[in-house]
Structure 1
């Protein structure tokens, strides 16, 4: 392990984990050090903007342009909790990153529990069953820091509290750091670009069912589908389900399986995103003169008086070299994340006036519950389930990692290369293979 440099970490932490948070949430930003050049995409240009945390009555933490002042404020309010947080997140991420070495050598895992054990032993499995607050208190982070800062991060990313499982919380905190980026033109281009690159034969229809069939003693999966005009089906040797199979989220039926395949317990957490074009009511945040309001984003603590989780001044998916944020007294486009749709009075509280409001409601993430068991990866011999990984943590990177695991698992099982599945002491094996 590299020698720790707390002061350097603290300086990097200030604008990243604590204040420079990506309000879009963990699944809206790609992560990595280089753009995905194979499909011709590049990172979107960053637009600077300061953040603050609001309690419903006052700003409990404000970002400034001066690192040393930020450092002093964090130390004055929270002691060294921010350093302990960073060390905890870095330790989790250092172990999590092992998965890329394992996958580069073709290793795969037949269950989410085995995958987690290979990365962080039973500690990672236990982190899906205990809360963020409990884990952070154990490493010396203060309750005040958890209530003010950690709660604000989790409310802005997953819309949930510090009682959510520690592993998902750690991924959210890691995703809030400054090495994340969005794709120019919109992150959806990653999906469409990869699909085009594979040259896959895409059937533009909705899957309605999967049934187990037999042909000359060989098991086949019949996939039924329909579109607006017709119905159809096709037979496959392997099937990967890449949509949630939890209650009320799936209309796919499974037939002829023993034991039967049914929906998994658990629900998804609703998120309301309101995109408002208007004039922010800066006086609500303690700035009667809008010209003096310095923040591009506001996070919130877990207060019963607050009706929104976060708001931020959003930028276009394509940013020109001459683009600038609107001045605080000008009309701008703001995104408000909330648990419930905003009524007129709440909009009036946040905005002096507005031209338009566009509302999108969707079940973005699982409603995390540490008492829930993790879903399986293998539903049948060659029938695999990808989206169960969301119940460990939900982000683009987690799903991409899980997709590669399923591909390697299917390949290794098909060719009976069992030495590449659920192996112990993989760090030692990988080192000896180099």
Structure 2
């Protein structure tokens, strides 16, 4: 018989556990009242002036950097979207501003992906170059035919130019790598220098004409291809600086796309996702005010004054981002009581007139005697052309079916006509056989380039940042988005005194060490 004996022993606590409640009490107190010992890091109230692609992307990046706690007010007196704008013709909306987006515009592509918008390939137009009397070059439906025609007339200039553009584009793409790692710059010159060295800086100091001549581009190609592209994109000739000329040539590539429903959906979506307070008012001035703190310290804040119809108002901010041009004839914002004056007289802006016409184009105006053979749906003009238009193309609505085809130019369709000045009735009557609707829009669209460019800094004052300084290198949607992220990073690093992330040299070597 086996008897099992089980002893029940009352477990004794470990001596160290007797101290646990006493140890936990201060931890609980600290976790509950830690803000009394270490106040939370302040999140500066911020103002963004302008709700175009610059202002909306700046608000997005500010929210990304400073987090949910920061207050962001966006001021806009007109429609949200800026250069992303549409006009209504016969019940349909058409793009009148920035129409296409390049596949390597990485910030813009990320906005579209994040917002759940839909990319739509831009319909291919058949291009023709008009010299004032006739078309000197006309595209075909067949790619191989176009290549043969280009080589026959211009040799290998098209290939030489394409290789030159891609070499600079490849180097500029480093800016995305720098911004991903949080680096920022106080001036355009410092940004360009770090991305492409002295060569990039010098591109703003000489013309695209000089740059392309150095690589052996012929005068014929310059006159008949390069100049019309500059006129189409910037209403100017090959005397514009080489950097903006390079970006302009990118816009002549294929594989361009647009946002289904209108590009302005990007701006509206960014403002909504950033949870900003949109103030429908026109900013009139930005002043400095001294603000005492409880500890006796006195700090400087910015008073933003605005008008909304007959009413006026103001708000106080720690950070101000200006996302609208400050140049003569464009903006009337004044800056007062600043420790250093802000100069905005670096140059002038070029007027752009967009006329949407629903009607039938007059083929004989462009030297075509047989309208049945007229198949061109995009026309660019040479510098000495006798016509008053810069360019014209058939436009599709912002919302269209997947199988949409551009209508033939001899049918009634919507044409987008670009000019420097408004078109007179006589000019329109010569251009179109018939018209059923028309809309005209005028704006100061981009700088009037004249290298060497005088470029304002990104940092206008202690905590006032200026996006549109980047337009003096190139005025494009993506360049403004790059400036917006730079401003958000710069404001964040300066607020928290992270100076090692500002204006650093030799970033490629630094990134290799970090990685």
Report the TM-score, using the length of structure 2 for normalisation.
Answer: 0.77
- The residue that corresponds to 1:38 in the other structure is 114
**Match among 479, 482, 488 for residue 401 of structure 1:** 482
**Match among 337, 345, 363 for residue 418 of structure 2:** 337
Match runs of 1:185-224 below 5 Å = 185-216=261-292, 217-224=298-305
CA deviations over 1:183-207 (Å, ceiling 9, x no partner): 1111111100000010012222211
Equivalent-residue separation in structure 1 for 2:499 and 2:344 (angstroms) = 29
Shift of 1:366: 0.8
Equivalent-residue separation in structure 2 for 1:27 and 1:424 (angstroms) = 34
Equivalent-residue separation in structure 1 for 2:483 and 2:97 (angstroms) = 16
Equivalent-residue separation in structure 1 for 2:402 and 2:206 (angstroms) = 46
- The residue that corresponds to 1:238 in the other structure is 319
Question: Are 1:44 and 1:319, in contact at CA under 8 Å, matched by a contact in 2?
Answer: no
Mean Cα deviation higher: 54-63 or 183-192: 54-63
Query: Given the alignment of the two structures, is residue 125 of structure 1 paired with residue 125 of structure 2, yes or no?
Result: no
Change in CA separation of 1:226 and 1:344 when aligned onto 2, cut-off 3 Å? closer
- The residue that corresponds to 1:310 in the other structure is 391
- The residue that corresponds to 1:281 in the other structure is 362
Shift of 1:45: 4.2
Equivalent-residue separation in structure 2 for 1:159 and 1:209 (angstroms) = 31
**Match among 22, 26, 29 for residue 100 of structure 2:** 29
Shift of 1:151: 0.4
Question: Are 1:25 and 1:158, in contact at CA under 8 Å, matched by a contact in 2?
Answer: no
Structure 1 gap ranges (5+)? 1-23
SS class of match (2:262): coil
- The residue that corresponds to 2:227 in the other structure is 151
- The residue that corresponds to 2:400 in the other structure is 319
**Match among 150, 154, 158 for residue 74 of structure 1:** 150
Match runs of 1:354-369 below 5 Å = 354-369=435-450
SS class of match (1:202): strand
CA deviations over 1:368-413 (Å, ceiling 9, x no partner): 1113311111111111111111111001100000000010111111
Equivalent-residue separation in structure 1 for 2:342 and 2:413 (angstroms) = 49
**Match among 440, 447, 467 for residue 386 of structure 1:** 467
Query: Given the alignment of the two structures, is residue 411 of structure 1 paired with residue 492 of structure 2, yes or no?
Result: yes
**Match among 123, 131, 134 for residue 55 of structure 1:** 131
Shift of 1:264: 2.2
Equivalent-residue separation in structure 1 for 2:143 and 2:407 (angstroms) = 24
Shift of 1:26: 9.0
Shift of 1:425: 1.2
- The residue that corresponds to 1:421 in the other structure is 502
Equivalent-residue separation in structure 2 for 1:326 and 1:87 (angstroms) = 34
SS class of match (2:350): strand
Larger CA Rg, structure 1 vs 2: 2
Equivalent-residue separation in structure 1 for 2:253 and 2:307 (angstroms) = 42
Question: Are 1:386 and 1:403, in contact at CA under 8 Å, matched by a contact in 2?
Answer: yes
Equivalent-residue separation in structure 2 for 1:316 and 1:195 (angstroms) = 24
Equivalent-residue separation in structure 2 for 1:123 and 1:47 (angstroms) = 35
- The residue that corresponds to 1:7 in the other structure is none
Query: Could you say what the CA RMSD is over the residues aligned between the two structures, in angstroms?
Result: 1.7
Report the TM-score, using the length of structure 1 for normalisation.
Answer: 0.91
Match runs of 1:260-271 below 5 Å = 260-271=341-352
Question: Are 1:26 and 1:394, in contact at CA under 8 Å, matched by a contact in 2?
Answer: no
